[in-house]
Structures are given as structure tokens and as C-alpha cells.
């Protein structure tokens, strides 16, 4: 459903991403790994429309989306999280989820001002969806807390729930396990698998936690210094000499 062909991103003299290709099938978890500064997040930023790539193509369900503004890409069903949690801190947990559903809501000002039945119905639907996902990630009791006051692991889960209420087809997670303890990582692990199995979304994952990556990925792409290094199933990657070299250095 997503195909990235020969993606390049140049910042002045720096070629941050060089000829990276990637493809994601329906209901599949694909991981991008690589040492720090390899250009993983830059690939994400190009895919989600934060950067217009300087070369290559990105096809989402057969449509070229490179250079499309970020908010339009997310409306197509390609939603991402961030390496550093980006919640609406002063808003409550449930408000965070309501904001995310605005493209489903009738945004007509008048119908909201006079509260037409249609408007109420939609509002109720988005509340129900928010409640469902809060329950799913175990935050229902905290629905009316300010998002900024949650513990870090809860904020991470809220961010994923906030993506899921938009009913995406492809979810891009940028280091979702960063800063989590082992127990929380295991929960996250199950949550991501369940997103794929139960909700039929595809997931693209950037992660440094190898146990998580190896356990849940269907396929892995390795990037080193902006260039694609290897791609394949977890087993193939585990035994790939180039990958071992890149991670451990030349022996």
C-alpha cells in the first residue's frame, strides 16, 4: 500500500537520505533501523509531508504523495507519532482524542452553534470512539486529566490512541519504546501486534529496542548514513554481515 522509491533528501550540502526504497504491504509491520543519525526520522518526515523530498517518489495506495502538505497526507490515512511525545499538554486526555477526529466531524460553524441533531450525533460518535480507544490503552479513568500531567508511558500510549481514533490505514511510529521500562515495552509490543491483527492497520516502525523490533516486525529495513544497507525478514537481518558491521563496527 505504501511504496517509497529512491527517496533522497538533501539539506544544502548534506545528503541526509540517499536513494532509500521501502515498501509496505497491507497488514504488515515494517521496521526501519539504523545507528543514530542514519536518517530514519528524515525518511519519516518525508513520508508524512513535513519535508518535501528532493528526489524520489512516495506512493500511497497508488497515489504520488511526495510534497503534499502534511495535514492532507494525514487525512489520507497516513498518521504518525513523534520521537518526542507531542501531546496537547494543557488539554484533557479526551480532548486530545476529540481534536484528532475533526476530519470526521461536521465542521460547519452554524450547525455547531445551533447544535443540529446531525452535529450532536457526530459529536457523540467521536466521544464513543475516544472512549473505546482510551479503554483499549488503559487510560479511561484518566480521561479528564490534563495530558501534560500523565506519566511518560501513559503519554506514549495516549499518542498512539490519538492516532488510532483517526482510523488510519498506515501508522508510523517513531521510537515508540523510547523511555519505557521493560514491562511497558512488553505492553506496547502487544498493542502494536493487536493494531495489526485486530484493526488491520499497517505499521511502519522506527525503533532502537532490538528485542521489540525482532519480535514484531514482518520485515526490517536497515539504513546507515542515509543509504539503504539491507532489508529482509528479522532472521535474515540478524545474520546479515553488513548489518552486524554497521552496528558493532569493524572487528
* Residues at the interface with other proteins (CB under 8 A): 48, 50, 69-72, 74-75, 79-80, 82, 86-92, 94-95, 98-100, 102-103, 105, 107, 109, 112-113, 115, 127-132, 134-135, 140, 143-144, 146, 162-163, 166
- Count H helices and E strands in the chain, helices first: 10, 10
Taking the complex as a whole, the smallest distance from the CB of residue 208 to other proteins amounts, in Å, to: 22
* Cβ(91)–Cβ(97) below 8 Å: no
Phi then psi for residue 234, to 5 deg, are -50, -40
Taking the complex as a whole, the smallest distance from the CB of residue 67 to other proteins amounts, in Å, to: 15
CB closer to other proteins, 22 vs 79: 79
Query: Vertex 221, ends 84 and 175: CA angle to 5°?
Result: 15
Gap between the Cα atoms of 52 and 74, Å rounded? 15
Phi then psi for residue 52, to 5 deg, are -90, 115
Taking the complex as a whole, the smallest distance from the CB of residue 7 to other proteins amounts, in Å, to: 19
Secondary structure (DSSP) of 70-81: HHHHHHHTEEE-
CB closer to other proteins, 90 vs 238: 90
| Ordered alpha helix ranges (H), 137-240 | 152-164, 182-199, 210-216, 234-238
CB closer to other proteins, 73 vs 223: 73
Q: Parallel, antiparallel, or unpaired for β 78-80 and 170-174?
A: parallel
CB closer to other proteins, 100 vs 188: 100
Phi then psi for residue 54, to 5 deg, are -85, -10
Taking the complex as a whole, the smallest distance from the CB of residue 86 to other proteins amounts, in Å, to: 4
Neighbours of 98 (CB within 10 A): 18
Taking the complex as a whole, the smallest distance from the CB of residue 73 to other proteins amounts, in Å, to: 9
* Cβ(48)–Cβ(73) below 8 Å: yes
CB closer to other proteins, 76 vs 210: 76
CB closer to other proteins, 26 vs 128: 128
Taking the complex as a whole, the smallest distance from the CB of residue 47 to other proteins amounts, in Å, to: 11
Q: What b/e string do you get for 69-84 counting C-beta neighbours within 10 Å, with b at 16 or more?
A: eeeebbebbbbbbbee
Taking the complex as a whole, the smallest distance from the CB of residue 228 to other proteins amounts, in Å, to: 25
CB closer to other proteins, 105 vs 230: 105
Amino acid at each position: 500500500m505504501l511504496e517509497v522509491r529512491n527517496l533522497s533528501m538533501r539539506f544544502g550540502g548534506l545528503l541526509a537520505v540517499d536513494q532509500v526504497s521501502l515498501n509496505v504491504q497491507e497488514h504488515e509491520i515494517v521496521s526501519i533501523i539504523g545507528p543514530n543519525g542514519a536518517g530514519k526520522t528524515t525518511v519519516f518526515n518525508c513520508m508524512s509531508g513535513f519535508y518535501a523530498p528532493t528526489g524520489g517518489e512516495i506512493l500511497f495506495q497508488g497515489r504520488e504523495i511526495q510534497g503534499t502538505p502534511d495535514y492532507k497526507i494525514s487525512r489520507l490515512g497516513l498518521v504518525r507519532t513523534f520521537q518526542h511525545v507531542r501531546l496537547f499538554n494543557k488539554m484533557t486526555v479526551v480532548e486530545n482524542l476529540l481534536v484528532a477526529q475533526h476530519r470526521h466531524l461536521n465542521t460547519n460553524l452554524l450547525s455547531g452553534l445551533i447544535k443540529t441533531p446531525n452535529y450532536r450525533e457526530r459529536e457523540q460518535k467521536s466521544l464513543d470512539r475516544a472512549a473505546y480507544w482510551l479503554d483499549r490503552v488503559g487510560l479511561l479513568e484518566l480521561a479528564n486529566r490534563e495530558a501534560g500531567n500523565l506519566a511518560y508511558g501513559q503519554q506514549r500510549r495516549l499518542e498512539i490512541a490519538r492516532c488510532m481514533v483517526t482510523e488510519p490505514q498506515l501508522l508510523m511510529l517513531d521510537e515508540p519504546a523510547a523511555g519505557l521500562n521493560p514491562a511497558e515495552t512488553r505492553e506496547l509490543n502487544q498493542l502494536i501486534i493487536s493494531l495489526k491483527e485486530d484493526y488491520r492497520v499497517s505499521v511502519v516502525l522506527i525503533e532502537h529496542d532490538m528485542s521489540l523490533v525482532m519480535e514484531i516486525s514482518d520485515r526490517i529495513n536497515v539504513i546507515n548514513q542515509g543509504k539503504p544497507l539491507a532489508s529482509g525478514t528479522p532472521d535474515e537481518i540478524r545474520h546479515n554481515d553488513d548489518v552486524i558491521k554497521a552496528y558493532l563496527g569493524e572487528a
